[in-house]
């Protein structure tokens, strides 16, 4: 029984860490969106286009990594909103 509660605590801690990284990723992408808008507003289209392409590549890689993560069959995160 002690290992079950230790395992549950470790799982909860790791899920909190995943949520922190997810939030940091979303914040960074929002900052990148702001930068793209700034360069568009400054009439620096080539810079904005390059940053937009980079952002698209980052999003693609994030989606791939999200799909590649093995699941353990747990449903404890279902229905959770962020």
pLDDT (tens digit, 9 = 90+) per residue, 44-65?
Answer: 999 999 999 999 999 999 999 8
The tokens of 1 are what?
Answer: 């029984």
Half-sphere exposure of residue 21, counting CA atoms within 13 Å on the CB side?
A: 8
**Residue tagged 């930068």 (tokens):** 35
Name the nearest CA neighbour of 14 among 57, 76, 78: 76
User: Is residue 48 within 8 Å of residue 40, measured between CB atoms?
Assistant: yes
Name the nearest CA neighbour of 22 among 76, 57, 69, 70: 69
Given this model, what pLDDT does residue 79 score? 45
Given this model, what pLDDT does residue 45 score? 97
Residues of the chain with pLDDT under 70: 1-2, 70-82
Question: For 37-61, what is the HEC assignment?
Answer: HHHHHCCCHHHHHHHHHHHHHHHHH
Given this model, what pLDDT does residue 72 score? 60
Given this model, what pLDDT does residue 82 score? 41
Given this model, what pLDDT does residue 65 score? 86
């Amino acid at each position: 029984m002690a290992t079950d509660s230790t395992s549950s605590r470790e799982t909860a801690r790791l899920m909190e860490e995943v949520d922190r990284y997810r939030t940091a990723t979303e914040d960074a992408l929002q900052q990148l969106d702001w930068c793209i808008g700034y360069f568009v507003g400054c009439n620096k289209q080539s810079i904005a286009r390059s940053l937009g392409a980079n952002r698209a590549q980052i999003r693609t890689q994030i989606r791939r990594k999200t799909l590649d993560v093995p699941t353990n069959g747990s449903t404890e995160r279902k229905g959770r909103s962020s």
